[in-house]
Amino acid sequence: MGKTLEAFIFDLDGVITDTAEYHFLAWKALANELGIDFDRDFNEKLKGVSRMDSLDLILEHGGKREHFTPEDREKFAAQKNNHYKELIKNITPNDVLPGIKTFIEEIKKNGFKIGLASASKNAFTVVDSLGLTESFDTIVDSAKISKGKPDPEIFLTAAKQLGVKPEQCIGIEDAASGVDAINSAGMFSVGVGDHEILSHANLVFSSTSELQLKTILKAFNENASISEPLEA
Ligand code: B16
Ligand code: MG
pLDDT for 24 equals 96
Chunked in runs of 10, what are the mean pLDDT values of the chain (232 residues)?
A: 86 94 96 96 92 96 94 98 96 97 97 97 97 98 94 98 98 96 98 97 98 97 68 44
pLDDT for 48 equals 86
Domains of the chain are 7-17+96-231 (3.40.50.1000), 20-90 (1.10.150.240)
Q: How far is the CA of 155 from the centre of ligand 2 (A)?
A: 13
Q: How far is the CA of 189 from the centre of ligand 1 (A)?
A: 19
The gap from C-alpha 12 to its chain's centroid, in whole angstroms, comes to: 5
Query: Helix, strand, or coil here: 114?
Result: strand
Catalytic-role residue among 13, 128, 141, 151? 13
Evaluated on CA atoms 53, 58, 59, 61, the torsion sign reads positive
pLDDT for 3 equals 79
Please confirm, yes or no, whether 11 is among the known catalytic residues.
yes
Atom of ligand 1 nearest to the CA of 175: 18
pLDDT for 2 equals 55
Q: Which ligand lies nearest to the CA atom of residue 48 in the structure?
A: 1
Nearest to 171 by CA among 224, 223, 115: 115
pLDDT for 1 equals 46
Q: How far apart are CA 121 and CA 112, in angstroms?
A: 26
* Amino acid letter, 13: D
pLDDT for 152 equals 98
Please confirm, yes or no, whether 56 is among the known catalytic residues.
no
Residues at CB less than 6 angstroms from ligand 1: 11-14, 20, 23, 46-51, 54, 81, 118-122, 175
Atom of ligand 1 nearest to the CA of 48: 6
Q: How far is the CA of 221 from the centre of ligand 2 (A)?
A: 25
Evaluated on CA atoms 152, 154, 42, 68, the torsion sign reads negative
Q: Are 20 and 28 in contact (CB under 8 A)?
A: no
The gap from C-alpha 112 to its chain's centroid, in whole angstroms, comes to: 19
**What's the pLDDT tens digit per position in 11-57?**
999 999 999 899 999 999 999 999 999 999 999 999 889 999 999 99
Q: How far apart are CA 11 and CA 93, in angstroms?
A: 17
